[in-house]
Amino acid sequence: MTSKRITRRQTVAGMTAAAGALGLPMIGAAQGKVSPITIVVNQSPWFDSFRKTVEAYEKESGNKVELDVNPFAGSLEKQRNSVRAAKGQYDVLIMNSGWFAEMYFGGFVEALSDIDPGFKLDKDIFTLNDTVYFDPVKKTMTPSGKLMSMPISPLIPVLYYRGDLYKQTGLKAPDTFAELEDNAKKLNKPPRMYGIVQRGARGPATVSFDFYPYLYGFGGSLFKDQAAGDYTVTLNSELGRTALDYYIRLAKEAGHPKTAAMDQADLIQNMVTGKTAHVMMVISAWSQMDDPNKSAVVGKVDFAPTPHAPGHSTAPGLGHWLGGVARNVPDERKRGAVEFLRWYQTKAAQMVTAEAGGIPVSAAIYREPLAQEPRFRWMKAIAESLPHAVSTMNFPEASEVIPILELGLNQAIAGETNSVAALNSMADQIHAVMAKYKYNTGVLPKLK
Amino acid sequence: MRLSRWATFGPALLLMLVLGVLPLANLFYTSFHTVTWAAGKATFTPAGIGNYLALPADPLLRAGFFNTIVFAVGAVGGQMVLGFGLALLCSRVTRGRVLYRAVFILPILIPGIVIGAIWKLMLNFDFGLVNQITDLVGMDPRNWLGDRQTALASVIAVDIWHWTPFCFLLLLAGLESLPQDPYEAAKIDGASWWQELRYITLPLMAPAILVTFAFRLVIAFKVFDEIYLLTGGGPVTATEVLSFTLFQRLFTEDREGYGSAMAVAIIFLCSLLLVVAVSVGRRSERAA
């Protein structure tokens, strides 16, 4: 006698189908069977949570998802090779803030609303400075454009600080840059303990990413108004100088003696070994702080939005990841990709992400009781910061601008040039790039 | 007869053209264009010699050119001196050859990524072994890879550690194959160790030294992984090298036309330097 067993996947698929037939909302609301899809994604600290979320989707929907996991640079190369071919290998592209504009402008991803006119972004999903939208005519990213992608991981920097030392010394979490400077100086006892460790090294997007919260937090900017298509370079404004002078002063008076050589790994290392009181670092490193195998400061690190100048709001630069659907794949796979993204934005899916250590893209999760748990004490800072997050470069030539910032900022921090000369030089070079590609651009008079 | 010669030579020539010349020709062609991608298609816009004219003004390329020369000369010079010294010492060792050769060859066998990890940890400012050792003798800790004064020298030191065994093995093979008659004659004449080295060993070893030097020089000019893994070209441009600049311009920034022009210029430079090095070597060999 043979017994016919029903698998868990079949049960879930059956329940989904039944719920769909009855018009009932299912947990996660995964739709019916669709074509298998392939997602190209990078191996980042948040990848494990993404993988678990994808597994939950497969389990719930019965649909197949293949992940092609790569290092950061390798992921970009694979995406470029795929989208530039006649037939793409990847259905969903997990695009970084450094290259999603290249995919939008180049016409390599198809608007989600064009694949499925009924597709709507959930009201709780953070639009991350509206970078999920794109107007192909105006070449701008505003809600008046088409919905091009779904936020996958909303990475931004936050302030990590030693809550235990704050309690001992009676300090309160800094809101402004002046408060951060005061607190960092008070806790600065080098070489045993640095007041702050900043990420001042030159790299692919290293010191520039570290500098954005300072630049925008002081009210400065790289460009006048990207959303309106005005790419006048404003980096060398008085506000830009204030921000860079502050950054350098903080490094000199309360920072690591080798700030110009510090990369993200150094920041993490200094924090988990208890050698710094503050770092401003991307949120995806939070789990390492509480990992007893890696950290000497388990439970001692607290989180706050990056500080700002009075009259301005916190302004972390976006280093986020977006999921877009490749244009050069068959229609049925595009539909499969959209079904996955439709499910990904649900509260249930985002809860899986959060529980697995990822950073949710839905505001709904940050309102849940889970956000109050000590292990998720970073969530409050993220929820407060995300509405103010800044997408610094919404154009495909960003990859030519970033090296200019990396070199110029690193030179200023290393003391090879002063802040005024560095800002003027960077502004001129960025202006030359924007003019070369015929953007509506200009440059401010030179700082003196 | 002539037909049969072409029948055998022709396919080989065609294969060489396809595998060797065609990619270079494509690189050369691309270097005179600006490549843009729109609506899923590549557009090649003629740029004349614009990409080549822009090269001298590139601050990273200028720094990369200077640093590559310093790196190649410093690293290969160090490897040749050390490799030759070790080879001289070991050429007289008759026992345990297999063991010492296995130990010496180890750094060459280690993958580049592991070498990056080893030396990143060794040279770490806060807990690196090198600073712990210098601390024992009362020296202040140094940021070996992060200080402008020490970064390039540190990478050169790592490269010397990595590639000295290569020089050692080639030069040792050369030393072991030298004829013994001149040495026996020198001994009868009462020549000192230095005189043997100066007037017999070095002249006889000149071809082996030249080949090893040329091999290493070519490889040193192509240095990439050590820079990528240890310093990323920094601090500022202290360790920027040509291959790393090309990587950034062509791959990271996706500037195919400009990057191709840079690649062509680098190929030309490397070839020129190699020709100069070999001809200088041959001249000194003849003079010796």
Q: With 0.80 as the threshold, say if the pTM is over it.
A: yes
Lowest mean pLDDT among A405-409, B180-184, B256-260: B180-184
Nearest by CB to residue A399, choosing from B60, B236, B253, is B253
- Chain A (403-432) residues lying within 8 Å, Cβ to Cβ, of chain B: 403, 407, 410-411, 414, 416
Phi/psi-derived region of residue A28, left when phi > 0, alpha when psi is between -120 and 50, beta in every other case: left
Mean pLDDT of A208-236: 97
Contact residues on chain A for B37, CB-CB shorter than 8 A: 84, 102, 106, 108
A366 CB within 8 Å of a chain B CB: no
Domain boundaries of chain A, sorted by first residue: 8-155+318-377, 157-317+392-436
Cα gap A47→A28, rounded to integer Å: 20
Going along chain B from its start, the domains and CATH numbers come out as 60-287 (1.10.3720.10)
Mean pLDDT of A86-91: 93
Contact residues on chain B for A269, CB-CB shorter than 8 A: 126
pLDDT at A22: 39
Judge: B233–A202 Cβ closer than 8 Å, yes or no: yes
A270 CB within 8 Å of a chain B CB: yes
Judge: A410–B234 Cβ closer than 8 Å, yes or no: yes
Q: Do domains A8-155+318-377 and A157-317+392-436 have the same CATH topology?
A: yes
Mean pLDDT of A25-44: 74
Lookup: tokens for B92? 């007289």
Residues A42-82 have pLDDT tens digits of: 988 889 999 999 999 999 999 999 999 998 878 899 999 99
CATH of A8-155+318-377, one of 2.60.40.10, 3.30.1540.10, 3.40.190.10, 1.20.1250.20: 3.40.190.10
- Indicate if the pLDDT at residue A104 is higher than 90: yes
Nearest by CB to residue B236, choosing from A80, A403, A416, is A416
Tokens 């601390």 found at: B135
Interface of chain B against chain A, CB under 8 Å? Answer: 37-40, 42, 59-60, 125-127, 141, 143, 145-148, 232-237, 248, 251-255
Cβ burial A155-187 (10 Å sphere, 16+ → b, else e): bbbbbbbbbebbeeeebebbeebeebbebbeeb
Residues in chain A: 448
Rg (chain A; Cα; Å):
23
A201 CB within 8 Å of a chain B CB: yes
CATH 3.20.20.70: does it fit domain A157-317+392-436? no
CA distances A346 to A110, A341, A360, A365, B82, Å, are 21, 9, 10, 10, 64
For residue B66, which phi and psi values (nearest 5 degrees)?
-60, -50
Residues B176-196 have pLDDT tens digits of: 999 999 999 999 999 999 999
pLDDT at A17: 44
Nearest by CB to residue B235, choosing from A80, A105, A261, is A261
- ipTM entry: 0.75
Mean pLDDT of A173-198: 97
Nearest by CB to residue A414, choosing from B59, B148, B251, is B148
